[in-house]
Structure 1
Amino acid sequence: MGMGLTQTLRAIGGAALAGTLLLVTAPTTSADSIRDSQWALEAFDAEAVWQESTGEGVTVAVIDTGVNGLHPDLVGNVLKGKSFVDSERADRQTSADHGTAMASLIAGHGSGRGNDEGIMGLAPDAKVLPLKNKTGDDTLDEGSASSADLIRYAVDQGASVINMSFSSGPLSSDEEEAIAYAAEKDVALVASAGNQGEGTVGYPAAAPGVVAVGAVDRAGDLWDRSNYGPEVMLTAPGVRIRSAGGATPYRMASGTSDAAAYVSGAVALLRAKFPDLTAGQIVNRLVKTAALPEDLQGQSLPDERYGYGIIRPYRALTEDIPAGPKQGPLKTPSAAVTDESAAATAGNDGKTEEALAERNSRTNTILAVVGGGLLLLVAAVVVVVVVRRRGKDRNGGPPPGGPWTGGPGAGPGPGNAGWPQQPSHTYQSQQNEHPHSSSNPYQH
């Protein structure tokens, strides 16, 4: 790819950490070096990937700072969207970089002659629906909006993938219900695990039904600031990632935000090629083709740092993988579980008095029948005893033989201790078939 990675990185300026986003600003460089510095495209062998799918026909909602839809690498791929925090157009954001950066990693199409310059996203023919939930890059809390309305809006506008490259505290009940709504409508939800290097995955990534994404570098090693925990499902490139900017032409950054954007791009590729698969079955293809470091081979998955492994889009697009269950490796959103329980409880409460009355009536009838039967049985036993006693008196003694004891198996068998438990199933990727390569974990 022209200039090597080492030369490109030497041209990069200093770093600035803002909130949970690690941003590195670069001086003006040539367009060719911008494309050359996208090491993830080379690692994924993007040219081969695009022979299989480019994400055409898929809409990815990007809940973020808004997107600069007039950026030359994005123009035409950004829908109007909506801002939930101010009156500005969500597709004309020029005061912050983050949302534009995520959009470019997902659906950037490059620029220049033959689109061989600038940023290429993993799904260059997908459309981005920008939904603005915060006013700037500095902090996640500044002017931020609840995700509930944005998620529902994205679903209702036809997005089949929602990228959430942000991290916050525990979700509200409205946000949990919105995630359940998206799952019900078969929309894939992808979110970043967080950038504190802690053993706690942030929300919404930690929520059931959401694909939590960690960040790895070019060698496949976990980024030292990538949050980890049992909720992590997949990892993707997130270290020194070149992308487009809203306030600046281009930026370079490290973070789980960028990793989540690449996973959203991969989901878009798969949704375009396999339109009949559910969101869970799409994620299943990524899980089953993910790469793991050698020291994790054969271990129970998901691993708290790598999840099921590093995404390999080409394999996910080309391998023969059974569709599997509708939900795949995704967990049922907590609000959906609560709603089902509440519905069951409400249904039972509405019929409680009627059920009790019917049960009491049945009980009284049964007691009457049983009582009458017992009286008849007692009378019959008395008659039999009297008849036999009279017969014994006439015959002079008891019949030969002892009391009846029954033959083998005649008595009651051991009690049923309960249904046997099904063997536990660990959702595994096909690591034995596709061993991890220490030279390039992304290779196909």
Structure 2
Amino acid sequence: MMSFRRYIVAAFALVALVPTSQIAFADSQPKPPERLTYERFAGPARQQTADKQKYDQHSVLVRFKSGLSATTKDRALSKRNLRNLGTVRGTSFVKVSTTGSATDLQRQLSQDPAVSRVTLDYQRQVTATPNDPAYYYGDQNYLKTVRVPQAWDRTKGSTSQVIAVVDTGVNGAQEDLKGRTVAGYNAITNTAIAAGASSDDEGHGSMVAGIASANTNNGLGVAGVAWTGRIMPVKALDSQGSGYDSDIARGVIWAADHGAKIINLSLGGPEDATVLHDAITYANGKGAVVVVAAGNEGDGTPQYPAAYPEVLAVGATDAAGNLTEFSSYGDWVDVAAPGFGIVSTGLGQDYYVGDGTSFSAPIVSGVAALVRSAYPTLTPAQVIGRLKVTARDAGPRGIDPYYGYGVLDAFAAVGGARTSDFTQRTGGTGEPNDVPARATALATSTTGTIAVEGDVDWYHFAPTGATPVTVRVAPARLDPSWPQNANPMLAVYDQDLQLLGQADAGSYGASEAVSLNLPAGTYYVKVSNRSGAADTRPYTVSVASSASGVTPPVGEQEWVRSAAPADFATGQPLATVPSVTFQRAVDASSVTTDTVRLLNGRTGAAVPATVTYNSDTRIGTLTPSAALPDNTPFRIVLSGLRDTGGANQAGQYTSTFSTVDTVPSAVSNFKVTGGTRAAALSWTLPSITDLDQVIVRAATGNTAPSGPTTGTAVYAGTGSSATITGLVSGANYTFAVWVRDRSGKVSPASVARLVGTTVAVSTTTAALNYGGSVTVYGKLVRPDTGAAIAGQPLQVYGRRKGTSTWTLLATPTSSGTGLVAFSTKPAYSTDYQWYYRGSAAYIGNTSAVRSVGVATTLSSTLSTTSMALGGTVHMYGTVTPSHAGQTVYLQRLVGNGVWQNMLSQTLTSTSGYSFAVKPSSRSTFYFRVYKPADADHAAGYSAIRNVRVY
């Protein structure tokens, strides 16, 4: 049954009678009848227990009572030695600080008669807050469980992310779905569905669509996860919520062919179907991520298509991240998300609230759309992988059949920082009665709890004489508002752990009992929960004499009597050597690394270990080849064994534990190499399985940052190298690097330093004629001490004046006095600059730019130095280097050092010139030729020539 009610207005339930040849909603599988009769109005959804909000540890905000004098207010503060930091602008609150605790100060001031109100100065974070009523008033607080609001701060998705809802259709005319649907397809009738049309005649698909991508921040109804995503309605289920494999497959293929990026399948059944599997494989090949509800059987029966390896199978939790009683489980479950008390769009203009993995899946589909917006190049397999590896561990540590990789973490999936895992609800030593060897004594009755998903509790009792007895387990009463009502299973064994009787009526909240005729001896009782959920409310197990009982036949014998460490144990030493004590005499030849395995609970990979078996003690031991990594879950798995009588192990036995969370080791090989006012850093990470961040900080001077929040941020990530640029010229820097694990433990710091440098530049001249020489000097020193730096390569670069390209000219090594020199004959005006690139000890730097002007050289010749009036004199020559096509001027000295242009001429192709002058009077005339400056040469002048005219 699917719990499916009108939100705020009324409640109703919908039962689908499904032929075995059909696939129905994941929610339509039978649930306990008691749940059918329960009518619940939608109220505020459960809120996840949040971390305590951060606040200023040494200040509070105070509002004094009105009408008080300034003296009275000051007295209230001064008598406690408080510092007044001033009024918070625009308010009546004053911020005051103390050297002590802010909470203590808050308590003291709240009792002061002069004070009207005192609060802590809380720290708050920016977050996207939709104005949709269901979100605003807390009815969608389950989205906070999977950190969707934080994910919205990084991405709100994209209209290009189309989520196909293959379901009963979608009410595209619903006020909160208007404009969100694209054209779709009715796979039952093989007809088109227009964008915005209502194609839903049942309501389930509309609810799924709204969860995934209802209009968000529109002031109406609910907030969809894929804030700006689009919905593609694909109707493959009928008005009863049922559909055939052929229709579903046709709908999946149509969606993939028409651009769906994510395909949501909130449907399923227990039978495998090749046609459905082929359709999903096809959709994967077209680039679609397929998200499937795990099912609501509340047991370990595989559900399809959830069990196909190509899909992301989603189990259901409550708003606190605890597995629900109805969520199907198995090794095929990948992640879990809230599926209890979920509100969404319905038929007409209604809003519904419902329970089921059908409503967990579209939350994940919406997050998949956010991931594809943030990382558009990811393949479907990579999107699924990202959603799995970023999930928060919950329940048994590591990958488990109930949560898969854990509870969805939307923020981490879109690139945000990871947060802590959900706490496992057992002590560090694990379950106290997880195996027969640790069974709890049962005199008449006692209580226990299903503390962790998959928990099994053992008890033992010993009648002193032959008598009929009834063994009973009574769970906590059925509470429809409680998401983890127990469905207990009871089994009774003899002293050799051979099954004598068992009871499993399959009713939530109902007792189970076994009545047996038993002789004197020791007997064992096993209590477990069919649904796999952890009902933390106590159950009662009892044994009492009864009027009659049956004489039990001896049944199947248990394989394991004890295991170490205990199931769900945490904080185990890294030197742990797991062992298993068998109840049966096991064939030693069947005990191999294939049948007795230690698996890494986080990756599923086998841990290299030696397996031994002692036939006398029946103990199998797994000795790891190396110390186990810290803060890592492990799983002991026994399967495929054979006993000495030839019987083969039918199922498998598993037990989990995790190692102690130690402080990470410091990074090794921390190297810092100076660049030009920059530095390149590298390091080797320690062996760590729960790396959260590598943090690198820097401080000017020779003292390292005192902690990972001081100094200047250089790097925060998971890599092994970083660069920093923009270092202050000439300053010393000290760098420190820490490793932080996911539990917040921080390694010791590794430290490295670099010394700042300065580079001076000078030249033997600032101006010369073409063909002349210049020497460019540099000097490398450390400014903190003024000491010269010897033995370092410096590069001298030249740049032709008027250009932007620098050319490496030479790389001399600094002398004992820090000096370098380079001599050259520049062909044109040149800028010079020294570069010191840095080293493992020093930060690189550059000198100032030094310019050297190079003037052109002009040769000049007069045809005569003396002539009669009326004659003509010729002045000719060349310009070096060649400046063919440029203009030169013949100048005459007119007195007092003033030269006057007389004639101009364009230089020939050989850079030559020739001027003819006919003086008009008798005198001595002085001439020169002038070549103006250009982009790369200074102005040039020829030698002065004179001629006497008589």
TM-score (norm 1): 0.64
CA 1:129–1:436 in structure 2 vs 1: closer, same or farther (change >3 Å)?
A: farther
Contact conserved, 1:215 with 1:223, CA < 8 A, in 2? yes
1:60 has 2:160 as partner: no
Distance 1:35 1:92 in 2: 27
1:244 has 2:345 as partner: yes
1:291 has 2:397 as partner: no
Distance 1:168 1:10 in 2: 28
CA displacement at 1:435 relative to structure 2: 5.6
1:374-385 aligned at under 5 Å gives the runs none
Distance 1:173 1:144 in 2: 9
Greater shift in the superposed pair: 426-435 or 254-263:
426-435
**Aligned pairs, number:** 319
Distance 1:432 1:217 in 2: 28
CA 1:436–1:59 in structure 2 vs 1: closer, same or farther (change >3 Å)?
A: farther
1:311 has 2:414 as partner: no
Distance 1:251 1:95 in 2: 15
CA 1:201–1:193 in structure 2 vs 1: closer, same or farther (change >3 Å)?
A: farther
Q: Residue type matched to 1:38 in 2?
A: Q
Aligned residue number for residue 48 of structure 1 = 150
Distance 1:206 1:179 in 2: 12
Q: Percent of pairs identical after alignment?
A: 31
Distance 2:742 2:321 in 1: 13
1:159 has 2:260 as partner: yes
Contact conserved, 1:291 with 1:435, CA < 8 A, in 2? no
Match of 1:100 among 198, 206, 228: 206
Aligned residue number for residue 32 of structure 1 = 133
Distance 2:690 2:350 in 1: 40
Q: Residue type matched to 2:304 in 1?
A: Y
Aligned residue number for residue 309 of structure 2 = 208
Aligned residue number for residue 417 of structure 1 = none
Distance 2:279 2:245 in 1: 17
Aligned residue number for residue 235 of structure 2 = 132
CA 1:12–1:254 in structure 2 vs 1: closer, same or farther (change >3 Å)?
A: farther
Distance 1:432 1:13 in 2: 49
CA 1:208–1:228 in structure 2 vs 1: closer, same or farther (change >3 Å)?
A: same
CA displacement at 1:52 relative to structure 2: 1.4
Distance 1:320 1:242 in 2: 28
Distance 1:44 1:62 in 2: 21
**Higher RCO (Cα < 8 Å, 6 or more apart):** 1
CA 1:108–1:33 in structure 2 vs 1: closer, same or farther (change >3 Å)?
A: closer
Aligned-residue CA RMSD in angstroms? 3.3
CA 1:117–1:431 in structure 2 vs 1: closer, same or farther (change >3 Å)?
A: farther
Q: Residue type matched to 1:316 in 2?
A: A
Q: Residue type matched to 2:603 in 1?
A: Y
CA 1:15–1:183 in structure 2 vs 1: closer, same or farther (change >3 Å)?
A: same
Aligned residue number for residue 84 of structure 1 = 187
Distance 2:365 2:257 in 1: 18
Aligned residue number for residue 866 of structure 2 = none
CA displacement at 1:97 relative to structure 2: 1.1
Q: Secondary structure at the match of 1:41?
A: helix
Q: Residue type matched to 1:296 in 2?
A: P
Q: Residue type matched to 2:329 in 1?
A: Y
Aligned residue number for residue 324 of structure 2 = 223
Q: Secondary structure at the match of 1:115?
A: coil
Greater shift in the superposed pair: 219-228 or 167-176:
167-176
Contact conserved, 1:165 with 1:257, CA < 8 A, in 2? yes
Where structure 2 has 5 or more consecutive residues not aligned to the other structure, the ranges are: 1-5, 17-26, 45-131, 419-597, 605-631, 633-688, 693-740, 745-950
Distance 1:25 1:75 in 2: 28
Aligned residue number for residue 360 of structure 2 = 259
CA 1:155–1:26 in structure 2 vs 1: closer, same or farther (change >3 Å)?
A: same
Q: Secondary structure at the match of 2:414?
A: helix
Q: Residue type matched to 2:180 in 1?
A: N
1:74 has 2:71 as partner: no
Q: Residue type matched to 1:51 in 2?
A: D
Q: Secondary structure at the match of 1:181?
A: helix
CA 1:210–1:246 in structure 2 vs 1: closer, same or farther (change >3 Å)?
A: same
Q: Secondary structure at the match of 1:318?
A: coil
Q: Residue type matched to 2:152 in 1?
A: W
Distance 1:203 1:276 in 2: 29
CA 1:245–1:34 in structure 2 vs 1: closer, same or farther (change >3 Å)?
A: farther
Bigger radius of gyration: 2
Q: Secondary structure at the match of 2:13?
A: strand
Runs of 4+ in 1 over 4 A off after TM superposition: 9-15, 22-29, 423-426, 428-437
Contact conserved, 1:26 with 1:251, CA < 8 A, in 2? no
CA displacement at 1:150 relative to structure 2: 1.1
Distance 1:13 1:35 in 2: 21
Aligned residue number for residue 285 of structure 2 = 184
1:167-188 CA distance string (max 9 Å, x none): 1243433222212212222211
Distance 1:182 1:248 in 2: 33
1:238-278 CA distance string (max 9 Å, x none): 00000110256110000000101111111110011101111
CA 1:145–1:42 in structure 2 vs 1: closer, same or farther (change >3 Å)?
A: same
Greater shift in the superposed pair: 10-19 or 178-187:
10-19
Match of 1:109 among 194, 215, 218: 215
Contact conserved, 1:235 with 1:259, CA < 8 A, in 2? yes
Contact conserved, 1:85 with 1:132, CA < 8 A, in 2? yes
CA displacement at 1:17 relative to structure 2: 5.0
CA 1:35–1:97 in structure 2 vs 1: closer, same or farther (change >3 Å)?
A: farther
Q: Secondary structure at the match of 2:267?
A: coil
Aligned residue number for residue 427 of structure 1 = 603
Distance 2:277 2:7 in 1: 44
Aligned residue number for residue 403 of structure 1 = none
TM-score (norm 2): 0.31
1:112-142 CA distance string (max 9 Å, x none): xx51331111102111111000122x4425x
Aligned residue number for residue 149 of structure 1 = 250
Q: Residue type matched to 1:105 in 2?
A: I
CA 1:33–1:260 in structure 2 vs 1: closer, same or farther (change >3 Å)?
A: closer
Distance 1:316 1:166 in 2: 25
Contact conserved, 1:25 with 1:252, CA < 8 A, in 2? no
CA displacement at 1:74 relative to structure 2: 1.1
CA displacement at 1:424 relative to structure 2: 8.2
Contact conserved, 2:345 with 2:352, CA < 8 A, in 1? yes
Q: Secondary structure at the match of 2:242?
A: coil
Greater shift in the superposed pair: 172-181 or 247-256:
172-181
Q: Residue type matched to 2:346 in 1?
A: G
CA displacement at 1:81 relative to structure 2: 0.2
CA 1:17–1:272 in structure 2 vs 1: closer, same or farther (change >3 Å)?
A: same
Q: Secondary structure at the match of 2:221?
A: strand
Match of 1:122 among 225, 229, 235: 225
Q: Secondary structure at the match of 1:243?
A: strand
CA displacement at 1:79 relative to structure 2: 1.0
Distance 2:148 2:346 in 1: 22
CA displacement at 1:149 relative to structure 2: 1.1
Distance 1:168 1:157 in 2: 26
CA 1:228–1:248 in structure 2 vs 1: closer, same or farther (change >3 Å)?
A: farther
Q: Secondary structure at the match of 1:232?
A: coil
CA 1:248–1:115 in structure 2 vs 1: closer, same or farther (change >3 Å)?
A: closer
CA displacement at 1:95 relative to structure 2: 2.6
CA displacement at 1:89 relative to structure 2: 3.6
Contact conserved, 1:292 with 1:436, CA < 8 A, in 2? no
Where structure 1 has 5 or more consecutive residues not aligned to the other structure, the ranges are: 1-8, 322-422, 438-444
Distance 1:42 1:208 in 2: 29
